[in-house]
Structure 1
Amino acid sequence: MCDVDGSALPADPGEARAVRAIIDDLGLPGIVDVHTHFMPQQVMRKVWGYFDRVGERGAPWPITYRHDEQVRLDTLRGFGVQTFSSLVYPHKPEMAQWLNGWAAEFAARTPDCLHSATFYPEPSAADYVPAAIASGARIFKSHIQVGGYDPRDPLLEPVWSTLEQAQVPVVIHAGSGPEPGPFTGPEPVAEVLRRHPDLVLIIAHMGVPEYREFLDIAERHPSVRMDTTMVFTDFTEVMDPFPRGELPRLRDLGDRILFGSDFPNIPYRYRHAIESLIDLDLGDEWLSGVLHGNARALFG
């Protein structure tokens, strides 16, 4: 079944077996995927519409797993994903609290999903962010590009302070890919971290295309992680290739690199994201940490 007619690829019964074979070869119990999206149906449709329009302007971006919610859950679990997220994000005021309510309900009925939450620069964020943490939120999403907001906005100061004190990780899309926004790039994030040096940020997509600058930030701040979402795949390498001269830094930061997929909103098969990491040839220990151990240590 598909929520939206069109671009979902047909089921590949061999894909789950192939992914599970990789997990078995590494001796892992499963995968922890910190960057997946489950949203209210009407919001997910709008997100898919955005990627459809991106494809019209540039490289085609078919949504490989454009299926209904239960099929998507079954697909992830079939890959051996033990833990995943339901990253939601607002694009306007007075939306985040509603999304947090939906995400809390989703987590309550989906025990293998990390209870996820989000925020927007608005006066009420100072109240609903600590409320979300109190209700069990374990990971937040900040989408600087889609939200079009400055992470240095004074309205976010109490939010960053709360998250820093609680040590709840925030997946932050601050890089300028796939399209730059008015506040994307490394400097706004660097300024937030100067004010809140112990903030646990997970740099989404490794900061594509500003890879080097976000690696610099991670090296300066031991609390910062990076996720591999879409990086190293054929799709991203055509547009924004990861500089191979930075692979030693990536290896040295191995315990702070987390696997992310962007499932279901990816224009290729899930297994390709994992095989692209294998092709980096950074060793089984590094790969095992990325696929499972590092996130398990972070989230318990």
Structure 2
Amino acid sequence: MTDVSTESIAVRRLWQGLDLPGLVDVHTHFMPDNVLRKVWAYFDALGGYWPITYRDDEAARVARLREFGVVRYTSLFYPHRPGMAVWLNDWATGFAAAHPDCLHGATLYPEPEARDYVPAAIAAGARVFKAHVQVGGYDPRDPLLDEAWGALADAGVPVVVHCGSGPLPGAHTGPGPFSEVLRRHTRLTAIIAHAGSPEYTAFLDLAERRPNVHLDTTMVFTRFTERRAPFPVDDLPRLKGLADRILLGTDYPNIPYPYLEQLDALVRLDLGDDWLRGVLYGNAARLFDL
């Protein structure tokens, strides 16, 4: 287990050295305890390949982010079957009310009720949605989601979308299906989780074509991910061109290494202090009007 007090000093030293007020992490996971424990059980079943570094109770996990200096974070969660989304969204409303530094989250699933509960969640104050095409096993082009995507586009509420084919491909992962959603809903603000790993180049292409598309850094560039899904060296300069649309994400607490590793991985890219300032704080602060 990481020595959190030592790690927090190193994390704070990093963002303070950039003259930032803290970090904004757009890809963290808080969810009902029984759901989170099922997520952890999935990783445990991998036989030690993916140990959960921050396996603590909820209060300790929140306190650690504050100790790191994370001033805003998300409570990303996702249904894997019909009928879950409303319950999860209700839970998230209570979590956000109890934790004002959490960006109020919500989710969706292709079901007839989505046309009603997505606008309801937005009206209740949801500021970011999560869509997990891989775990949910659904096609984002499903007509049952059309009104939901439209409501998000109209409201300008960003959605973090796991649509890349990592760590395992699904029937509807990859850049194609969600690109079609964006062709229909041109004003939809999307944050592509894990920078679209492993289809990095294709999702960079998508972000360059569509100004409302952002990429989060979740697990990308870390030594853990570089072993299995390395980021193409030839594409690194393109990250400079998208400097205002790269957002810090970590997957905390469900990561197999210390939180600091994600930050150090971004520093190792050597793309400059201004780029880091945007990724670690400024870009998300602007997107969420913090």
Distance, in Å, in 1 between the alignment partners of 2:32 and 2:4 is 26
Matched, 1:124 2:116: no
Matched, 1:244 2:233: yes
Uncovered stretches (5+) of structure 2, i.e. residues with no partner = none
Deviation track 1:107-145 (CA, whole Å, cap 9, x = no partner) reads: 000000000000000000000000000000000000000
Q: Is the 8 A contact 2:221 2:231 kept in 1?
A: yes
Aligned twin of 1:139: 128
User: What is the count of residue pairs matched by the alignment?
Assistant: 289
Correspondence list, 1:92-107, <5 A:
92-107=81-96
Distance, in Å, in 2 between the alignment partners of 1:254 and 1:10 is 31
Amino acid at match of 1:282: L
Query: 1:11: Cα distance to partner?
Result: 3.3
SS in structure 1 at match of 2:131:
strand
Matched, 1:259 2:248: yes
Distance, in Å, in 1 between the alignment partners of 2:255 and 2:11 is 16
Aligned twin of 2:257: 268
Aligned twin of 2:98: 109
Runs of 4+ in 1 over 4 A off after TM superposition: none
Distance, in Å, in 2 between the alignment partners of 1:101 and 1:122 is 17
Query: 1:224: Cα distance to partner?
Result: 0.4
Query: 1:10: Cα distance to partner?
Result: 4.5
Aligned twin of 1:34: 26
SS in structure 1 at match of 2:77:
coil
Distance, in Å, in 2 between the alignment partners of 1:251 and 1:197 is 24
Aligned twin of 1:88: 77
Distance, in Å, in 2 between the alignment partners of 1:11 and 1:106 is 27
Aligned twin of 1:207: 196
Length-normalised TM-score, structure 1 = 0.95
Aligned twin of 1:155: 144
Aligned twin of 2:10: 18
Matched, 1:222 2:214: no
Amino acid at match of 1:220: R
Instruction: Tell me which of 57, 68, 74 is aligned to 1:79.
Output: 68
Query: 1:49: Cα distance to partner?
Result: 1.0
Percent of aligned pairs sharing the same letter: 62
Correspondence list, 1:182-197, <5 A:
182-197=171-186
Matched, 1:299 2:270: no
Distance, in Å, in 2 between the alignment partners of 1:124 and 1:189 is 21
Uncovered stretches (5+) of structure 1, i.e. residues with no partner = 1-8
Matched, 1:49 2:41: yes
